[in-house]
Amino acid sequence: MIYLFVDSSGFGGIESHIQQLAVLLQSKQTDVEVVFLQRYTEHPQYNQLNIRHIPYRFLSDSSVIGFFRHLKACDVIHAHGYKASIISRICSLLSSFHLVTTFHAGESVSGKLACYEWLNRYTACLSYNLAVSDKIRQQQPFRCELVRNFVRCKKEMIKRERHTTLQVGFVGRLSHEKAIDRFVSLSQQLPDSECHVFGDGEQAHLLDGEALTWHGSVSSMTPYWQTLDVLLIPSRAEGMPMAALEAMSHGVVVLSTDVGEMPSLLDERCLTAESDWPLLSQMVIELDRAGNDQWLQLSQRQQQWVKKHFSGEACWQQLAQIYRLA
């Protein structure tokens, strides 16, 4: 049995990654269960797991130590995030199971979070460690393997037309690292496009009075990708954003700053230096002026790249070896 362990109160990149991973394992006839440290009311991921018939449990409903003590040597705990990883490593001293942890965060943190992240890094000698970007991998003091995020891709290429008025979106946490402030500034330079924001966070107040559509936090972007033509990622820091992979797999063109693993995902025409983020608005304008044919060509090229390098099938052999399934 593979247990995907996380402490999660909302839906973001880690939760999307766990969802994709659980679906992939299920498709490979591998027993999988998502384990939440605590139960949070109205968490959108619970419904998504129910829809896909993926079992899950809450350790707050029982004994954390009891759960880990009953694991067998053939069981795998795959922990995500600092709290789940630290707890799993401590419990691995009391029981015999295969422990895998993934480092997701690419941004710098301060205060209490910085203490937790330090503890997360320096207890990593007790686990088999993965990172979603090479930059994050290089920051770890112990052995850490690069395993990029991935998405489930449809067999057939998605062929769709762009909207007459270009629809431009931001998807993610409304925070300094994700640079919602930059997206607001970029939207002001795009009077001929309609701009959308999907997400919530501590900088939501920056959207007040702006000429864009704020959809708030949504449980899944799947129903909404067809409303967008372009996803902008003006981030100051990233790992490998799930939003970019999902967008590309649904035919949405992605333009981004060159942070994290984005250079491995996009070609130079779709990237700009992080310090040159204002150029993203000009890139959108040029794409809009080029018309549907060029947009469609770029959409299909990005779809092909994701399917070849960032699909579940492309990553399965590496994951199977990590989980000792191969």
> Do 77 and 179 share a domain, yes or no?
no
Same domain, 196 and 290: yes
Q: Minimal CA–CA distance to 76: which of 56, 97, 61, 93?
A: 97
- Provide the CATH number for the domain around residue 286: 3.40.50.2000
Furthest C-alpha separation in the chain: 62
SS3 168: strand
Q: Say whether both 7 and 145 belong to one domain.
A: yes
> Does one domain contain both 173 and 290?
yes
- Shared domain for 192 and 275, answered yes or no, is yes
* 8 and 145 both lie in a single domain: yes
Q: What is the pLDDT of residue 111?
A: 81
- Within a domain: 281: yes
| Per-residue pLDDT, 286 | 97
DSSP 251-298: T-EEEEES-TTHHHHS-GGGEE-GGGTTHHHHHHHHHHHH-HHHHHHH
- At residue 58, the 3 state secondary structure works out as strand
Reading phi first (left if > 0) and then psi (alpha if -120 to 50, else beta), residue 253 is in: beta
The domain tally of the chain equals 2
Q: Walk along the chain (326 residues) and give the pLDDT tens digit of each residue.
A: 999 999 988 788 899 899 999 999 999 999 999 999 999 888 889 988 999 999 999 998 888 999 999 999 999 999 999 999 999 999 999 898 999 999 987 666 678 888 988 999 999 999 999 999 898 999 999 999 999 899 999 888 888 899 999 999 999 999 999 999 999 999 999 999 999 999 999 999 999 999 999 999 988 899 999 999 999 999 999 888 999 999 999 999 999 999 988 999 999 999 999 999 999 999 999 999 999 999 999 999 999 999 999 999 999 999 999 999 85
In a domain, residue 160? The reply is: no
Residues 20 and 44 in one domain: yes
Task: Indicate whether 158 belongs to any domain.
Answer: no
Q: Which two tokens stand for residue 262?
A: 């984005």
Beta carbons within 8 Å of 123's beta carbon, 6+ residues apart: 85, 86, 89, 90
If asked whether residues 114 and 250 sit together in one domain, one would say: no
Q: What is the pTM of this model?
A: 0.87
Separation CA 246–CA 243 (nearest Å): 5
187 sits in the region (left: phi over 0; alpha: psi -120 to 50; else beta) called alpha
The pair of three-digit structure tokens given for residue 97, joined into one six-digit string: 């199971």
Residue 98 and residue 196 in one domain: no
254: in domain: yes
Query: Quick check: 106 and 237 in contact, CB under 8 A?
Result: yes
Q: In this structure, is residue 159 part of a structural domain? A: no
How many residues are there in the chain? Answer: 326
Residues 146 and 195 in one domain: no
DSSP string, 169-236: EEES--STTTTHHHHHHHHTT-TTSEEEEE---TTGGGGTT-SSEEEE--S-STTTGGG-SEEEE--S
Residue 326: per-residue pLDDT:
57
* Residues near 24 by beta carbon (within 8 Å), at least 6 away in sequence: 150, 152, 312, 316, 319
Q: Is 162 within the bounds of a domain? A: no
Range of the structural domain that residue 68 is part of: 2-152+312-322
Specify the pLDDT at position 256.
98
Shortest CA distance to 92 belongs to which of 109, 75, 108?
Answer: 75
Q: Do 134 and 251 belong together in one domain?
A: no
